Structure formats: C-alpha cells, structure tokens
Amino acid sequence: MAQTEVYFYREPGDDSISFFLWIAKLSTKVQAKCIQRIDRLGELGHELRRPEADFLRDGIYELRASYLGVNYRIL
C-alpha cells in the first residue's frame, strides 16, 4: 500500500505550526503515542480505524491516543 502524505496546518503569515507547539508541552510518553498515531496515518491513510482514528463530522477526522486515562485528540 502506498504511503499517505501528512500535512500540518499553519495559519497564513505565521511560521509556527500549532500542533508542534501543543505537543511540545506534553510528556515524552504522550508525545511518542501521538507521533505513533501520525506514523500509522502515514502508513495506512484512510484505512486507519478505531481505536486509532475516527470520523467526527463535516469531513473532519481525529487521531486518538490515550495515556493514564487521559484522551488526546488530533484533528
């Protein structure tokens, strides 16, 4: 299966990417789980399903990670 390109949103005229600012504040273990989900998205694309990813609505999907009972979502 071909890999999927993963893009990170950036506000026009702003060099910062909010995802990287957010993930930098998390613990190393949570960062690793979130990066793992992004890697799996790159590998499987639209084939990725629950519990790793889910459809919300209006064409919006989320990647799902949890650690110590806290759920982390990446849109």
pTM, two decimal places? 0.85
pLDDT over 90 percentage in the chain: 67
Of 59, 46, 55, 58, nearest in space to 73 by CA: 55
- Asked if the model's pLDDT at residue 60 lies above 80, the reply is yes
Residue 8: HSE in the Cβ half-sphere, 13 Å Cα cutoff: 13
- According to DSSP H, which parts of 4-71 are helical? 18-24, 28-44
In-domain check, residue 2: no
Q: Is residue 54 part of a domain?
A: yes
Is the residue at 12 inside a domain? no
Any idea how long the chain is? 75
Q: Is residue 9 part of a domain?
A: no
- How many domains, in total, are found in the chain? 1
How far is residue 16's CA from residue 10's CA, in Å, rounded to a whole number? 7
What's the half-sphere exposure (Cβ side, CA atoms, 13 Å) at 25?
5
Confidence of residue 1 (pLDDT cuts 50, 70, 90): low
Domain extent, residue 45, equals 18-74
Least confident of 7-16, 54-63, 65-74: 7-16
